[in-house]
Structure 1
Amino acid sequence: MSGQVFSAFYRIVSQIPAGKVATYGQVARLAGMPRCARTVGYAMAGCKDPAVPCHRVVDRFGGTKACFDTYAPGTQRALLESEGVLFRPDGTVDLNRCGWEAGHLP
C-alpha cells in the first residue's frame, strides 16, 4: 500500500480529540476508501510517529488491539482511560458516548 494512503489515514487520525475514538472503518470511509478498514489497521500498527494518536482507533465493536500494547498488556486501554474514554463491562469502548463525530474534514 502506498505511503500516500497511510499518510491520509494518519492525517485523519491526528484530528481525533483526546477522549474520543474512531473505528478502523470510520477512518477508511473518511479517507474515501470505505472497504479498507483492514488497511487502516496495518497503517496504525506500523505508525512510528508519536504525534499520530493511533491508540484512539478501535475495532467496530469498540475493541482494543494487542498491537498497541507495546509496553505491557492493556496499554491501549490505559491510554484511552487516561483521556477519559469510557469502557463497558465487556471491556470494549462505549462508542455511543466516546465515538468521534468527524463532521467535515479538510
Structure 2
Amino acid sequence: MILSIPFGKVSTYGAVAAAAGYPRYHRAVARLLHNAPVDHLPWHRVVGAGGEIKVPGAGAREQRVRLKLEGVAFEGKRIDMGRFEHIFKPWEVYE
C-alpha cells in the first residue's frame, strides 16, 4: 500500500493499515516504516493523523525535507491534508 502513494502525496498510518485490510494496525505500520531500511519504502509519505510528522528526532527533519522536495506544503507543523492526502482507490485496497 505504501508503494502506491504517489510522488507529492501523503497518507496516514491508519489509512495505510485500513487499505491493507488491517484497520486497527496503524502502530504496526509505524513500526514497519521506522525499522525499514532507508529508501526501501517511501516512508516519508506516511504521516500521523491530521498531517503531523510522527518520526522522532533527525528522522522528522529528514521526512520534512523529503516531502518539501516533492512539493508537499506545510502549514506550521501540519501538512494540508485536503490538498496532499492520497485517497486509496478501491482497486488499490487489499481485500
Q: TM-score, normalised by structure 2?
A: 0.87
Change (3 A) 1:48 1:77: same
Q: Does 1:39 align with 2:28?
A: yes
Structure 2: gaps of 5 or more residues:
none
Deviation at 1:51, TM superposition (A): 3.8
List 4+ stretches of structure 1 deviating above 4 A: none
Cα-Cα RMSD:
1.7
Structure 1: gaps of 5 or more residues:
1-11
Deviation at 1:16, TM superposition (A): 0.7
Distance 1:34 1:62 in 2: 18
Contact 2:34/2:55, CA 8 A, preserved across alignment: no
2:2 maps to which residue?
13
Q: Compare relative contact order (CA 8 Å, sep 6+) and give the higher one, 1 or 2.
A: 2
Larger fraction in strand: 2
Q: Does 1:59 align with 2:45?
A: no
Distance 2:39 2:62 in 1: 15
Q: TM-score, normalised by structure 1?
A: 0.79
Contact 1:14/1:51, CA 8 A, preserved across alignment: no
